[in-house]
């Protein structure tokens, strides 16, 4: 039997918390950092991040976490090297408009996850994605229970 690849979409908050833990040892990011390490070690997991999320990570690390420009640059380079980046197009925005029921940004993230046929969205804010179909929403602390080889 052929090994199937599992497509997993990571929300920006998971990437932010991962960076906070790795760079600043902030305990609030430990669960996300552990989930990211676990996912990256899975040979059949293909990890996706929205291009929009990369911008959100950089802005949050700059404004809220007070990372230096060099630290932000290093984090963006790491993300670009370790994840599959999903470009945002006008068609994606149209798709998000069709499914938006609450949070616009979450609708865009969902539309992008569906474009790449992601079965899982890993996020710290699971309730924000519960109304979307065709995807399993997973908190970082529960990823080991859901995604196994």
List, for residues 41-66, the tens digit of each pLDDT value. Answer: 999 999 999 999 999 999 999 988 88
Is the pLDDT higher at 26 or at 49?
Answer: 49
Asked whether 140 and 32 are in contact (CB, 8 A), the reply is yes
Q: How confident is the model at residue 86 (pLDDT cuts 50, 70, 90)?
A: very high
Average pLDDT score over residue span 91-96: 93
Is the pLDDT higher at 142 or at 100?
Answer: 142
Tell me the whole-structure pTM to 2 decimals: 0.90
Q: Evaluate if residue 2 carries a pLDDT over 60.
A: no
Which pLDDT value is given to residue 24? 79
CA distance 70 to 76: 10
Which pLDDT value is given to residue 1? 38
CA distance 107 to 121: 12
Strands (E), 51-114: 84-86
Whole-number average pLDDT of the chain: 89
């Amino acid at each position: 039997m052929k090994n199937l690849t599992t497509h997993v979409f990571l929300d920006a908050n998971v990437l932010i918390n991962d960076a906070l833990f790795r760079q600043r040892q902030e305990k609030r990011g430990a669960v996300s950092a552990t989930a990211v390490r676990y996912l990256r070690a899975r040979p059949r997991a293909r990890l996706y991040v929205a291009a929009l999320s990369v911008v959100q990570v950089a802005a949050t690390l700059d404004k809220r976490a007070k990372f230096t420009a060099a630290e932000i640059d290093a984090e963006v380079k790491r993300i670009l090297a370790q994840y599959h980046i999903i470009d945002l197009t006008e068609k994606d925005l149209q798709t998000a408009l069709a499914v938006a029921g609450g949070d616009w940004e979450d609708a865009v993230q969902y539309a992008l996850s569906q474009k790449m046929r992601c079965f899982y969205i890993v996020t710290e804010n699971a309730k924000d994605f519960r109304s979307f179909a065709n995807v399993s929403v997973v908190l970082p602390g529960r990823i080991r229970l859901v995604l196994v080889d």
